[in-house]
Amino acid sequence: MDPAAVITELARRFQAGDTPGALRLFHPGIRIQQPASLPHGGWHHGHDGVAAMGAIFGRFWERTISPPRILGCGQTVVQVTTQTWTARATGRSATVDVVELFAVIGGLVAEIRVFQQDTHLLLDTLTEPTRPDQNPSL
């Protein structure tokens, strides 16, 4: 299967709520990199690492994801989405663009590198805003 078609199918399965089906498109040695500043950041390896990353993410946020724009270039595929992350603890939301670089080998996703547009904005959703009258240094 063409690498762009693999990512298109992966997105379709996730959007349809077919997480088990989506995960079947991951290579057993899958590697995913998230920005280190996020609670679920760093490199995650294998199916167990992906599950652990998802569990950590799920403790902090829920999200909605726009239909993806997918661009293929050989074995590398770029996916761009707009995502709204809502913090479970505060109910605060932020919307950012997310670029993901996929490496597809033998019809399976072998690596994903994720680049959120503004990790500071996403992290700010986890805390309540400070009121100026509560901050004596202002």
pLDDT in tens, 118-132: 999 999 999 998 766
| Mean residue pLDDT across the chain | 94
Q: Looking at domain 3-127, which of 3.10.450.50, 3.90.79.10, 3.40.50.720, 3.40.50.920 is its CATH number?
A: 3.10.450.50
Domain ranges of the chain: 3-127
**Alpha carbon of residue 7 to chain centroid:** 14
Q: Using CA atoms, how far apart are residues 49 and 41, in angstroms rounded to an integer?
A: 12
Q: CB of 105 within 8 A of CB of 22?
A: no
* pLDDT tens-digit readout, 66-98: 999 999 998 899 999 999 999 999 999 999 999
For residue 132, the model assigns a pLDDT of 65
- Let me know: does 10 contact 65? Beta carbons within 8 Å: no
C-alpha angle 106/26/114, rounded to 5°? 110
pLDDT at 1: 82
Residue 14 contacts residue 92 (beta carbons within 8 Å): no
C-alpha to C-alpha distance for 40 and 21, rounded to whole angstroms: 23
Residue 78: both structure tokens together: 């770029």
Query: What residue has token string 């595929």?
Result: 77
Q: What is the average pLDDT across 35-54?
A: 97
